[in-house]
Amino acid sequence: MGNNVGPFLSGFVGDDYPLDLYHSGRVRPDKHLQYFLLTLDKLSQYDKPTMVIAHNLEWDLVQLLIGRLDDIKNDHLTIPIGCGALEVTLSQPCFGVFRQKKRQPVFIRDSFAFFKTSLRDVAKAIGVHEKDNAFPDIGSRVFSLEEMGEYFTHDLKAVRSVGTYIAKLHTDFKIPDCTVSIPHFSSCVFRESIDKPLARFPEPKFGLQTYYGGKTRSVPGVYHNIHCYDVNSEYPYAMTKLPKLCCGSYEPILSYKGPWGVYCVTKYDFKKCAYGTLYHHKIKVKGETLRFLDSCKNERFFACGWDLEAAMDCGSLTMKKGGVCGYYWKEKKCGHDHVFQKFVTRCYSMRGEAKKHGNDILSLTYKLILNSLYGKFSQFRYDPLTGVWKPGTLFDPMIAGMITGYGRYLIHQFEHQGDSVYTSTDSVFTSKTLPTGPELGQLKHEFTARHLIILRNKVYFAFDRNYVLIKWAGHGLQCDSPLELIQAFARGELFIKKTRLIKRKEGVKRKITPGSVRVRVQNLEGLVITDEMKTIFIKAAHANRHTAAIPQTL
């Protein structure tokens, strides 16, 4: 939008109607930052905490802090002000807080971190229609604030309404402080429901060696009439299967005691399973490819109990006496709540009510709350003051591993039932018809593809009978649209050139001139395209020339 338009945010004081915080014209970073800080200082004088909000907050803050970007260390910036400071984190999610001694805090939050969709879509979903107008058609020139006044007014009203909605969400769940994102909000909701502290796993390093994420497996090729099924809320369902984990203890063991444990296996017989069960690596290192164990070399491996259960169920693994050690959860009967079941049941029922009343955005919010919690048990947080990564409040790799482990166990069963050709965390692609249902842990049918091309893990294209794209995944492939990839495969190209504009923050971090253009080459040589695939891609390139905006599944 050129240099004639500055950022804008909205301020919210307690339960009062939002107030205009910042809505500027010509950008003058030094004066705008000074005005912004003075406004935060005034807001801190209220008798209630204040929330300052923007949709895509990072853009607004980078504009305000443009003169201080060189001071950013590890995405964190602290600006001392009087007897307090403004602390800003410019990573994802982007957030900040302004604190002064003996005053109320001012929270700076990004509404995108709560809804993961555009402001227009969120506003419409909660009944706000002020953002229906698009940018005026004034050509490619730099335009003035006056020309954009109506749009900005509508935009600011939408931000106000969305911010009020977020504040109400915190009130409904009795969360006192404004959280920074849906995962953060989810963890606060969970902690509020705990009536007795959970037992802590005594050996977190051992737990990390058995922790893996979702299962991904593919058989590259061309397939026809393939059904895609998803597991209803796989990880929330896994949480309902956990023990209470409040009364009891983790006991060291020298033999296999069941699925609710973590193990180091040194003596065993192993037969390869077509769908993969156990992993080679102790810990998935960034940049490495996680591979399934495919032969018996009697090398030790680490696994959670549910991975061992999956391997034993399909006849892949037989553990030998004296070849197992680890920890097992020994349950003790008590009258305390099952906090995992309580959390999941509450959110799932509220999501059902939202669906019943046609409230799509609230339904999506509850879905994100449900699916965000498990990651908090394996989260490390960066402390900018010490420069050290520290475990999060809920960090417990044993719990995280049992949740994802049960998810892999469940999906492994569905793989065998359907002779799956592609698996990704909670999805299976199969030519068979599988039973479906509405409950947690049951399958739901997503779509049927007349033609399915699988190139590798997390790279596939699903088409209908007319070669129109239904769904696709292009993890690791840099492209502007699926049509760009389809056309490249149809022409037999070995690479794609992608032009990127370097944004200010990226330019500062990579020491590249902001606003400059860089050309990145995406190499496609590693993807094997058969003649049959090429024929389908040629037909799809023609059929999808006007429908490139297809949702991607990662």
Domain extent for 291: 181-457
How many structural domains does the chain have?
3
Give a yes or no: residue 463 inside a domain: no
Based on the fold, state whether residues 174 and 83 are members of the same structural domain.
Answer: yes
- 484 burial via Cβ count (<10 Å: 0-12, 13-18, 19+): middle
Interval 16-21 mean pLDDT: 51
Give a yes or no: residue 1 inside a domain: no
Local confidence band at 514 (pLDDT 50, 70, 90 cut-offs): low
pLDDT digits (tens, 9 = 90+) for 472-504: 998 888 777 888 899 999 998 888 877 777 766
Based on the fold, state whether residues 508 and 438 are members of the same structural domain.
Answer: no
pLDDT digits (tens, 9 = 90+) for 204-229: 888 888 888 889 999 999 999 999 99
Helix axes 305-313, 397-418, angle to 10 degrees: 20
Give a yes or no: residue 74 inside a domain: yes
Contact 110, 184 (CB under 8 A): no
Give a yes or no: residue 505 inside a domain: yes
Contact 324, 265 (CB under 8 A): yes
**Span of 114-123, 501-510, 515-524 with lowest mean pLDDT:** 501-510
Closest CA to 172 of 11, 356, 432, 365: 365
Based on the fold, state whether residues 447 and 302 are members of the same structural domain.
Answer: yes
Based on the fold, state whether residues 129 and 50 are members of the same structural domain.
Answer: yes
Closest CA to 484 of 501, 465, 469: 469
Give a yes or no: residue 499 inside a domain: yes
Give a yes or no: residue 497 inside a domain: yes
Q: Is the pLDDT of residue 29 over 60?
A: no
Based on the fold, state whether residues 213 and 309 are members of the same structural domain.
Answer: yes
The last residue of a domain, from among 457, 487, 509: 457
Across 349-456, where does the E strand assignment appear?
A: 380-383, 388-391, 422-424, 427-430, 443-456
DSSP 133: S
Q: Is the pLDDT of residue 378 over 70?
A: yes
Based on the fold, state whether residues 46 and 118 are members of the same structural domain.
Answer: yes
The last residue of a domain, from among 145, 178, 211: 178
Based on the fold, state whether residues 136 and 187 are members of the same structural domain.
Answer: no
Q: How far, in Å, CA of 295 to CA of 279, rounded?
A: 11
**pTM given for the model:** 0.83
The last residue of a domain, from among 392, 425, 457: 457
Dihedral through CA 39, CA 43, CA 49, CA 51, nearest 10? -40
Based on the fold, state whether residues 272 and 332 are members of the same structural domain.
Answer: yes
Give a yes or no: residue 42 inside a domain: yes
Q: Is the pLDDT of residue 430 over 80?
A: yes
Interval 106-117 mean pLDDT: 86
For residue 336, the SS3 value is: coil
Closest CA to 251 of 243, 118, 278: 243
The token pair that represents 477 in the structure block? 């492939």
pLDDT digits (tens, 9 = 90+) for 144-175: 656 666 666 777 778 888 888 888 888 888 88
Based on the fold, state whether residues 527 and 433 are members of the same structural domain.
Answer: no
Contact 457, 553 (CB under 8 A): no
- Beta-bridged to residue 292, according to DSSP, are 279
Contact 434, 229 (CB under 8 A): yes
Q: Specify the pLDDT at position 131.
A: 45
DSSP 114: H
Q: Specify the pLDDT at position 15.
A: 47
Interval 348-353 mean pLDDT: 88
Count of residues in the chain:
554
Based on the fold, state whether residues 281 and 206 are members of the same structural domain.
Answer: yes
Q: Is the pLDDT of residue 544 over 60?
A: yes
Beta strand 469-474 with 495-501 is unpaired
Contact 336, 244 (CB under 8 A): yes
CA distance readout (Å), 41 to 104, 448, 543:
10, 57, 57
Give a yes or no: residue 3 inside a domain: no
DSSP 197: P
At 39, which CATH number?
3.30.420
pLDDT digits (tens, 9 = 90+) for 326-345: 999 999 989 898 999 999 99
**Span of 229-233, 357-361, 527-531 with lowest mean pLDDT:** 357-361
Contact 477, 522 (CB under 8 A): yes
Q: Is the pLDDT of residue 285 over 70?
A: no
Closest CA to 534 of 475, 476, 488, 468: 488
Q: Specify the pLDDT at position 150.
A: 67
Based on the fold, state whether residues 153 and 197 are members of the same structural domain.
Answer: no
Based on the fold, state whether residues 208 and 300 are members of the same structural domain.
Answer: yes
Q: Is the pLDDT of residue 278 over 60?
A: yes
Q: How far, in Å, CA of 422 to CA of 425, rounded?
A: 10
Local confidence band at 552 (pLDDT 50, 70, 90 cut-offs): low
Alpha helices in 173-304 (DSSP H): 182-192, 204-209, 234-240
Interval 505-534 mean pLDDT: 78
CA distance readout (Å), 410 to 122, 265, 401:
34, 22, 14
